[in-house]
Structure 1
């Protein structure tokens, strides 16, 4: 237990962590007054693995049941304690050395070449539509919602997000719109129902493409909304507007130049793109090794400095930038509540270990946005400085107009 005890003494600066080891001995690590958590480790191998790869080892130990929480403590308590002490863990000498070594392999970790990108997407998004229906909103939007008022439902907040994106796109009748990483199609269908536009949604998920196409048929929009199983790099036609929600996290830093160069070629001079992506307010780093291994292979949420540099190199104007700071934490809390309510069904579809894996993902992700460095940004891009209105009021005005239009078109929730 010595290597782990030594690190824990440095790690816990806020709150208290009591670790009960495999022999039943209690070890208490405490800092200033705060959250108190009791954890039991039943496998002595964890004493070493938690030191050399704490994020991966903790996630795997919870999945395997060799790390448990007792005396009223929960996984959420532990992950909250972990999150509020994360900076002290990063400053631990051994962790600083290991981080420097791992940073040298970032390119391999974030590889999303053609073919491989589809495999990475399939790993997560082709788990089955029935599974995602257990915790997403009714329209199956799998990205950060936008809570305009306290107490809004998940469905209302997801509609707010679509409305906000639509307002920033500045749609006009007859426009062609490209939705990169279209998910199950709700944004594309919303845009086409709201405005007389043609929308092409591209995805690398077979499950998403099939269900989105069915939804277009059912909504009577199949003549104006198409969903294709296609890599965005294989799209060649021009589009007046481009939108991408929750896909940029799967591009990888070393493919950013390829991404923004492609965006530049797909838009005319008057074109506008809106990019909705997770990012972080800390310097460039790496994705969690556990998240990369079990949930999102090849994924990484960038520091803004990594994005701006490549945008500049591709001669694109950033015409608007907005940050959604705590909205994703609230979204993930909603997802986890629904997941827990359907946990027995998840186990029926998969097994207990899978359910543990997903609750670890949902709760740890919430903590990243609630007490960690993660946030969501909206970046509006164009080839011309005045392709979008130069006064930002239009975004609010459009949202108000769309609320009324939703009522007239019977699109209200």
Structure 2
């Protein structure tokens, strides 16, 4: 009979909350005191050498393939792993060197399309009507997800202190909510750039349908190829895709794209402690080529790019709540997703959404908005932050 001692040692050290475990031979073990937050059922033996070498990848694939079953709240379970200082499974305990990954324009396009071109109909099933796939901004606990996504877009535009008629570029524009809002509510000439064919097609049709050809533009192009100058640059959930080796060039390109004294608002996932880097499972199955920089890396690159920081705002709890709502929405369409894409695909995305929520809940990662200026910091910005919140009120961010 297989000795389960090492499995029990790993499990005993990995959680700071009570859990139940059922092994492949029917043996049941409880860890911790009190009501268990979840039950883990191990249907098959998982090689210890695989756990030791790539823990997140091994357990992620085992869950996708049904070798492990989790009864209960996955988010809570993963949060306890991150919060357990002695956990072998904690990312800080088995972190690997960042793997080399090509970020050529061709490879970057393939990586982006592998995730975002699953199909607009897939994302429509569980995103809100704005089709915004990034952290929302909950000005009130009672905000719906749709309200919070409108809040986020307007909060970003308000920080720029943009004037009617100015030009704005959104790098990685998604399905276009920000550029359409910039044009229609702020009277800006707005341009979006994406590598996703489906997003490009979606925005192109919407521009034509709304008759905004003179105020909204969309390009299926790599941000590194852009040449024009803009008064303002935004980029939401984008720098996580550029790769560690390209981060400095990414911020330098933002500098090149801005007019003198122009402003940029960059919003993205950022590690504050040990949360930066690459998760092997997410890198293989969800975001190939992805890399989450820590806040010190970004600040250093911003400085090297000769951009000046005007404001930094962490939004960790906002992304946790966004992901929790996405998870609920995703569960509500589980039968449709399984019917279309299969059980394994559904389990993969469910694990992804809940484990990301756990990462934000535990503080393992954060999401931060960086407001920057090309030129002396804040030359064309008001003296205090008050203008941001006054504009938020004016534009319905309560």
Equivalent residue, structure 2, for 1:2: 5
Give the superposition deviation at 1:364. Answer: 0.7
Equivalent residue, structure 1, for 2:57: 56
Cα displacement string for residues 102-156 of structure 1 (whole angstroms, at most 9, x for unaligned residues): 21xx2514x4221111111011000000000000010100000001111211110
Equivalent residue, structure 2, for 1:376: 367
Equivalent residue, structure 1, for 2:100: 108
Task: Point out 4+ residue stretches in structure 1 off by more than 4 angstroms.
Answer: 32-35
Equivalent residue, structure 1, for 2:297: 306
Equivalent residue, structure 1, for 2:44: 43
Q: 1:349 to 1:330 in 2, by over 3 A?
A: same
1:89 to 84, 87, 90: 87
Equivalent residue, structure 1, for 2:210: 219
Length-normalised TM-score, structure 1: 0.90
Equivalent residue, structure 1, for 2:232: 241
Give the superposition deviation at 1:322. Answer: 0.9
Cα displacement string for residues 288-324 of structure 1 (whole angstroms, at most 9, x for unaligned residues): 1111111011112221011111111121100111111
What secondary structure is seen at the aligned counterpart in 1 of 2:261? coil
CA contact (8 A) 2:282 2:352 kept: yes
Q: 1:371 to 1:34 in 2, by over 3 A?
A: farther
Equivalent residue, structure 2, for 1:409: none
CA distance in 1, matches of 2:396, 2:139: 13
Q: Where do 1:32-181 residues align within 5 Å?
A: 35-70=36-71, 73-85=72-84, 87-89=85-87, 96=93, 99=95, 102-103=96-97, 106=98, 108-109=100-101, 111-181=102-172
What secondary structure is seen at the aligned counterpart in 1 of 2:86? helix
Is 1:392 the equivalent of 2:385? yes
Q: 1:284 to 1:158 in 2, by over 3 A?
A: closer
Cα displacement string for residues 313-354 of structure 1 (whole angstroms, at most 9, x for unaligned residues): 121100111111200111111111111111111112211111
CA distance in 1, matches of 2:278, 2:348: 17
Cα displacement string for residues 2-23 of structure 1 (whole angstroms, at most 9, x for unaligned residues): 33222223323x2223322111
CA contact (8 A) 2:275 2:364 kept: no
CA distance in 2, matches of 1:364, 1:347: 20
Structure 2 gaps, min length 5: none
CA distance in 2, matches of 1:40, 1:228: 48
Give the superposition deviation at 1:82. Answer: 2.5
Cα displacement string for residues 153-203 of structure 1 (whole angstroms, at most 9, x for unaligned residues): 111010110110110111112211110000001110000001222111000
Q: 1:77 to 1:28 in 2, by over 3 A?
A: same
Length-normalised TM-score, structure 2: 0.93
Give the superposition deviation at 1:81. Answer: 2.9
CA distance in 2, matches of 1:285, 1:197: 35
Structure 1 gaps, min length 5: 405-413
1:25 to 23, 27, 47: 27
Give the superposition deviation at 1:369. Answer: 1.0
CA distance in 2, matches of 1:216, 1:88: 53
CA distance in 1, matches of 2:68, 2:49: 14
CA contact (8 A) 2:75 2:357 kept: no
Q: CA RMSD in A?
A: 2.1
What secondary structure is seen at the aligned counterpart in 2 of 1:117? helix
CA distance in 1, matches of 2:384, 2:238: 28
How many pairs were matched up? Answer: 392
CA distance in 2, matches of 1:229, 1:403: 32
Give the superposition deviation at 1:221. Answer: 1.4
What secondary structure is seen at the aligned counterpart in 1 of 2:17? strand
Which has the larger displacement, 48-57 or 206-215? Answer: 48-57
CA distance in 2, matches of 1:323, 1:285: 15
